[in-house]
Amino acid sequence: MTMKVLFTGADGYIGTLLGPYLLQRGIEAVGLDTGFYRSGWLYPTNVPRPMILSKDIRSVTAEDLKGFDAIAHLAELSNDPLGQQDPGLTHEINHGGSVHLANLARKAGIKRFVYMSSCSVYGVGKPDQILDESSDVNPQTAYAECKVKVENDLSKMAGDDFEPCFLRNATAYGASPRQRFDIVLNDLCGLAWTTKKIKLLSDGSPWRPLVHALDMCQAVHLSLTAPADAIRGQKYNVGSSDQNYRVIEIAQIVAKEFPGCELEVGTQGADNRSYRVNFDKIQTVLPDFKCQWTAELGAKQMRKVFESINMTAEDFQAPPYTRLKMLMKLRGAHLLDEKLFWKTPELATV
C-alpha cells in the first residue's frame, strides 16, 4: 500500500525540496505550512509538487490528520537569531506546537513521527571533542533548547503505538526554490556572487558540521520507511563525519568556486558555538543512507543557480530568503499578530 505522509514546513527551505523528493519515491505526500515564506521563489522548477494545507501547527486538529500513516515534522521558527528575538514565543511554537502535533498524531493512530532536530543541541564542544548521540547536550539558544525539550517529551511517548525518531541535522546548505541565505555556506555564496568579497566577522575558527538539503530529504525518506524497531525512540545525527568544517574552510571553498572573490578574515568573534560531530550511528539505523553532496558540490550548485537566473544583490537581500527579515516585514505590515498568527486567514494563502 502507498504510504500517506503529512509533512509540515512544506513551503520552507527544506520542505519545498522534500515534497517532490517523496512523491518521486512513491509516497503520497501532503504538505502543511502557515505560509510565512511563500512569497519567495528564487528559481523555476518543473517537478510535481504536493497539495499543501495552509495552517499553523498550533492550530492543527485531529480532523486534519485523518488518513495519514506518518508525519514528518519540519515546521518551526528556524534559526537562532529569530528564536532569540522572542524566546518565549519560540518555546510556544517550537516546543509547544511540536508536542501538540505529536499528541494529536498519537491519538489519531499515526505511529511514525519523524522529527527534524538539530546538531545545535550540542552547543559548544571541547576543542578536541567529537560529539555523538551519547554526548551531553549543551544548547546555547532558545532554538536549540526547544529541540532538546521536544526530543525529551516525545521520547517518553515512544512505544508500540508511537514511533518517534529524531534527526539531529547538521547545518544545512544547498539550493532550494525557497532559498535561505541566513545559513553559513549559502550566505557566503551569495556574498561571493553579489559583492566578489567574503568578509568574515570572526577568525573562522569555529567548527560547523554541514549537510546538503537533499541529503536531509534522503534521511527523512529513509526514516519514514525504515523498520519500526530500527528507529523508534532513536536520536541520530544526519550528515557525514568528513563534512565537519571550520568556518574559514567553508569560506575558502566558496571563494575558490567564485572566480575573483576576495576573502578577508576578522578576529575572534563573540559566537562561541563550535562543535564537531560524529555521524556513524545513522549508518546503523539507516544502512542505505549516504551523503551525496559535499561543500564543494554545494558551492558549485549555488553558483550555477545564480548564473542561470542572473541573481542580483536585491534578490540576495530579499526578505523571503532571510527568516528574521521576513517575519519582521510581516509584523511591520501588521499582517501577523504578536503570536505570529495571521490576522486574517486569507493572508496565509498570499
- The overall average pLDDT reported for the chain is 94
Rounded distance, CA 277 to CA 265, Å? 24
Distances from the Cα of 18 to the Cαs of 25, 29, 186, 213, in angstroms?
Answer: 11, 9, 18, 9
According to DSSP, the residues that pair with 71 across neighbouring strands are 6, 113
Amino acid 347: pLDDT: 60
What confidence category does residue 79 fall into, taking pLDDT thresholds of 50, 70 and 90?
low
What confidence category does residue 1 fall into, taking pLDDT thresholds of 50, 70 and 90?
confident
Amino acid 85: pLDDT: 75
Amino acid 218: pLDDT: 98
* Position 269 pLDDT exceeds 80: no
User: To the nearest whole percent, how much of the chain has pLDDT over 90?
Assistant: 87
C-alpha cell at 126: 571541547
Rounded distance, CA 38 to CA 34, Å? 9
Q: What is the pTM of this model?
A: 0.95
Amino acid 271: pLDDT: 60
Could you tell me which residues come within 8 angstroms of residue 180 by beta carbon, excluding any fewer than 6 positions away? 13, 172, 186, 321, 322, 323
Over residues 73-93, the mean pLDDT reads 84
Over residues 72-84, the mean pLDDT reads 81
Contact (CB, 8 A) for 303 and 262: no
Nearest to 112 by CA among 206, 3, 39, 202: 3
DSSP E strands in 239-344: the ranges are 244-246, 262-264, 276-277
Over residues 330-339, the mean pLDDT reads 92
What confidence category does residue 305 fall into, taking pLDDT thresholds of 50, 70 and 90?
very high
Over residues 310-327, the mean pLDDT reads 96
Distances from the Cα of 77 to the Cαs of 9, 54, 227, 287, 310, in angstroms?
Answer: 10, 16, 30, 31, 30
